[in-house]
Chains A and B, each alone.
Chain A
Amino acid sequence: MAGESVTLIGLWSSPFVLRVKWALEVKGIEYQYVEEDLSNKSAMLLQYNPVYKKVPVLVHDGKPLAESLVILEYIDETWKQTPLLPHDPYEKAKARFWSRFVDEKCVPALITTFFKGGEEQQKAGQEVRENLKILEGGIEGKHFGGEKIGFVDIAIGWLGYWIPIVEEIVGINLIDKELMPKLDAWFHDFLEHPVIKECIPPRDKLLNHNKASRKVSTSSST
């Protein structure tokens, strides 16, 4: 739209940034992308997200927003084409529930599985599998929201790309194709969608990046 400026401050390796990218792309919104260097945070980032100093940050006509799920809802409410959240209040609430479930339960367990070792890692891995089984139970139809790409797909689809990379690096199976067939199929379908596929960072690059960050973390733990 003329006169409108949308900037996404992000990091190529962040799934939370990818969520926002996906939402912008699916809605066909024009935006400027700025890559942030988290080891040397820009003045812009510190100004726009003083509370967390993290990405993603969306700036729309000079007004900044942080926290990916908050940004997703803002995008959906501001640009009404290709609605992401369902219209029905109960379905909307369920969509919010699943998105929060991933952030609050799956992500911490996945991080522990990735960065820790020994028993702690095994326990966390078990937790990830249990959480994925719960997600399996929540899928209705082709996507979380039914037949079209919606809010939950965009909020949690990244797991289908990141988890196999974690599995490869730590050697623990998390997505069990037998126990979670719907989830597995859904991840594949989602990541094959042309708009979605185009934004995904290259696998080798992401794999190597994550391997390196794991090395740094495990060698620097006292």
Chain B
Amino acid sequence: MKSEVKLLGAWPSPFVTRVRIALNMKSVEYEFLEERLESKSQLLLQSNPIYQKIPVLIHRDKPLSESLIIVQYVDDVWSSHSPILPSDPYDRAIARFWAAYIDEKWYPTMRSIRGAEGIEEKKRLIEEVKKGLGLLEEVFKNSSKGKGFYGGDQLGMLDIALGGFLGWLRVTEIANGVKLLDQGNTPELVKWAQRFCEHDAVKHVMPDTGKLIEFAKTLKR
């Protein structure tokens, strides 16, 4: 039932995109409630009092926040097809490790490029982001085992975790006149990025780069 699952979100948010991809993979019907970033709704404040952030998934009136926690929950509940995490505990741990790396190290570095003071600092951060992508390229080679995604034939946790950021990655590239994913450093991820964005579960929810650039202009520094 559609009203059984609600997602509080906003179209530019990479964290919200992650959850939408997971729900799409599992063919879950849900009601998308767009939050206005300037004024948080009562429902948001009620269902995520601790962080007051999106995404929030509300399933049968029970709220959950934190995108990767939500993605794993979706995987646990709608478990009959399209597994997001692999079945082997060690492979699951590796996926969780790199998902945490993306959230705790890689993305914060990329996000801080925008507010970086001076060219040298920007350069340093860009190099760090590229180094991180180099690591993620290696992980891709091991994880995909020759197939198209981190999850093999299907999208997996790391596809969702990293893929959700592709829109903002492109914005960062354009805004700084650099290539973060490139043929020299990350040839496999270049191909993966295209495959990912064309995937059925992704293509209608991945925000358009042009729109994101316009949106980014409205953000306070």
Interface residues of A, Cβ cutoff 8 Å to B: 51, 60, 63, 65-67, 69-71, 73-74, 77-78, 89-90, 92-94, 96-97, 100-101, 134
Q: Which residues of A contact B65 (CB under 8 A)?
A: 97
CA distance A60 to B94 in the complex (A): 13
CA distance A121 to B207 in the complex (A): 41
Asked if residues B69 and A90 are in contact (CB atoms below 8 Å), the reply is: no
A-B contact pairs, 23 of them (CB 8 A): A51-B101, A51-B135, A65-B90, A65-B93, A65-B94, A65-B97, A66-B97, A67-B96, A69-B100, A70-B100, A71-B93, A74-B89, A77-B92, A90-B59, A90-B62, A90-B73, A92-B73, A92-B76, A93-B70, A93-B72, A97-B64, A97-B65, A101-B50
Asked if residues A74 and B73 are in contact (CB atoms below 8 Å), the reply is: no
Nearest CB of chain B from residue A121's CB, rounded to whole Å = 23
CA distance A89 to B76 in the complex (A): 6
Nearest CB of chain A from residue B118's CB, rounded to whole Å = 21
Q: Is B128 an interface residue (CB 8 A)?
A: no
Q: For chain B, residues 59 to 117, give those with C-beta under 8 angstroms from any C-beta of chain A.
A: 59, 62, 64-66, 69-70, 72-73, 76-77, 89-90, 92-94, 96-97, 100-101
Asked if residues A74 and B69 are in contact (CB atoms below 8 Å), the reply is: no
Asked if residues A96 and B93 are in contact (CB atoms below 8 Å), the reply is: no
Q: Which residues of A contact B100 (CB under 8 A)?
A: 67, 69-70
Q: Which residues of B contact A69 (CB under 8 A)?
A: 100
Asked if residues A89 and B77 are in contact (CB atoms below 8 Å), the reply is: yes
CA distance A152 to B72 in the complex (A): 17
Interface residues of B, Cβ cutoff 8 Å to A: 50, 59, 62, 64-66, 69-70, 72-73, 76-77, 89-90, 92-94, 96-97, 100-101, 135
CA distance A66 to B101 in the complex (A): 11
Asked if residues A93 and B73 are in contact (CB atoms below 8 Å), the reply is: yes
Q: Which of A70, A93, A134 contacts B96 (CB 8 A)?
A: A70
Given contacts A67-B97, A89-B76, A90-B73, contact A100 B66 (CB under 8 A): yes
Given contacts A51-B101, A70-B96, A101-B50, contact A93 B69 (CB under 8 A): yes
Chain A interface secondary structure, helix, strand, loop or mixed? helix
Given contacts A67-B97, A97-B66, contact A78 B73 (CB under 8 A): no
Q: Which residues of A contact B69 (CB under 8 A)?
A: 93, 96-97, 100
Q: Which residues of B contact A92 (CB under 8 A)?
A: 72-73, 76
Q: Which residues of A contact B72 (CB under 8 A)?
A: 92-93, 96
Which partner residue on chain A sits nearest B89 by CB separation?
A77
Q: Which of B50, B73, B77, B93 contacts A70 (CB 8 A)?
A: B93
CA distance A9 to B77 in the complex (A): 35
The 10 closest A-B pairs by CB, nearest first: A89-B76, A77-B89, A74-B93, A93-B73, A70-B96, A78-B89, A70-B97, A89-B77, A96-B69, A65-B93
Q: Which residues of A contact B90 (CB under 8 A)?
A: 60, 63, 65, 74
